[in-house]
Amino acid sequence: MKHVTEFRNPEVVRKALAQIKAMVTRPWVIMEICGGQTHAIIKNGIDQLLPKEIELVHGPGCPVCVTPLEYIDKAICIAGRSEVIFTTYGDMMRVPGSDLDLFRVKSQGGDVRIVYSPLEALQMARDNPDKKVVFFSVGFETTAPNSAMAIHQAAVENIPNFFVLVSHVRVPPAIKALTKSPHNRIQAYLLAGHVCTIMGWEEYVGISELYSLPMVVTGFEPVDLLAGIAEVVRMLESGQVDVINRYSRVVKKCGNQPARALVERVFRIVDRKWRGIGSISQSGYELAEEYAPYDADKHFGLESIDVDEPDICISGVILQGLKKPFECPAFGKECTPQTPLGATMVSSEGACAAYFSYNRHLNDQQATQDTTQYE
């Protein structure tokens, strides 16, 4: 645990907080782009320890949360077929579609299975040649190489009964879209360390310069996050615009080049709809022509499915950082992890799930985190 506990060291945390407090002279709004960072921030009470001038808002960095409603409906449609073994990550099972979720499909007799890797799904296709095995491929650039490897291997082995329903999205175009929004008030970004581990941070340099946005690559432990926040505050206060890597033990500027090369071979970049946000230009992946036979969307003839988001859930404005989960009238009442109205309450990286898990749906006194070790 040494290499974990040292990034939770209370003394280092206290020094970082003191550094931030000494620098701040005015209000600043900073968005952490990743749902994993959101959970770490809320779990550790980091937002409550920061000076009142620093507001952290939560971005659309939860791949489950931004998967379009029609893709959930497509998954449900495929999963109910008798000839299909449908596989997906556990978080996707309870994401509500228009009428059902995948758990309900399973309870009604659908062969729906949770996997930890698309390579498990590929093995199922080898073991069940009389079935069509479909993997629901969801995620940011972080998980795209895993999906690309499974698809590429299926092509190498000429496995005809393996298919992928692709709903991968890309972070840089989302940052552009958020920044260009007329409602935008974000002044700096904490970039997701695991995304940058794969893709590097070169693509963010142009965005930073174009929109005058300080950006810092950071990790997920308290020391990582506060180091990133301190760097962002320093740049904001000094007027510096740059992209700085504070997760150098993992992230390189060029990322993981073999993984990037595989993604670029198997996928092509396309416009993609984000749940609760809408279409974002060049923000997603679909299979390249060479790998089109493995596209579940095309194989099952579901490309025309298009549905509207329900009005009852405000996850779209939460994902854009315009509101916090507790500002939703249904939060903690009609909408809970047991009775979710939207994906942000379902996913283990969803902002609503983070606020609920750490009691931010209670009154201020009850909801305060135990942050005494850092005070």
List of E strands, the chain = 28-32, 54-58, 84-88, 112-114, 132-139, 162-168, 188-192, 215-218, 243-245, 267-274, 278-287
Beta bridge partners, 243, equal 215
- What span, in angstroms and rounded, lies between the C-alpha atoms of 31 and 320? 10
**Matching fold, domains 2-60+171-190+200-245 and 64-169+255-299:** yes
The Cα diameter of the chain in Å comes to 66
- Per CATH, the number for 2-60+171-190+200-245 is 3.40.50.11750
Tell me which fold the domain 64-169+255-299 belongs to. Rossmann fold (3.40.50)
In angstroms and rounded to an integer, the radius of gyration of the C-alpha atoms of the chain is 21
Under 8 Å between Cβ of 232 and 33: no
| Angle, helices 10-23/222-238, rounded to nearest 10 degrees | 10
Q: Encode burial over 336-346: b for 16+ CB neighbours within 10 A, e otherwise.
A: beeebbbbbbb
The pLDDT profile of the chain, 375 residues, written as one tens digit per residue, is 566 788 888 899 999 999 999 999 999 999 998 989 999 999 999 999 999 999 999 988 888 888 888 999 999 999 999 999 999 999 899 888 888 899 999 999 999 999 999 999 999 999 999 999 999 999 999 999 999 999 999 999 999 999 999 999 999 999 999 999 898 999 999 999 999 999 999 999 999 999 999 999 999 999 999 999 999 999 999 999 999 999 999 999 999 999 999 999 999 999 999 887 889 999 999 999 999 999 999 999 987 776 666 667 888 888 888 888 888 888 888 888 888 877 788 777 888 988 998 888 665 434 445 555 656
- Domain chopping of the chain, boundaries: 2-60+171-190+200-245, 64-169+255-299
Under 8 Å between Cβ of 303 and 297: yes
- What span, in angstroms and rounded, lies between the C-alpha atoms of 222 and 113? 35
Q: Residue 368 has what pLDDT?
A: 47
Q: Residue 321 has what pLDDT?
A: 83
- What span, in angstroms and rounded, lies between the C-alpha atoms of 127 and 149? 18
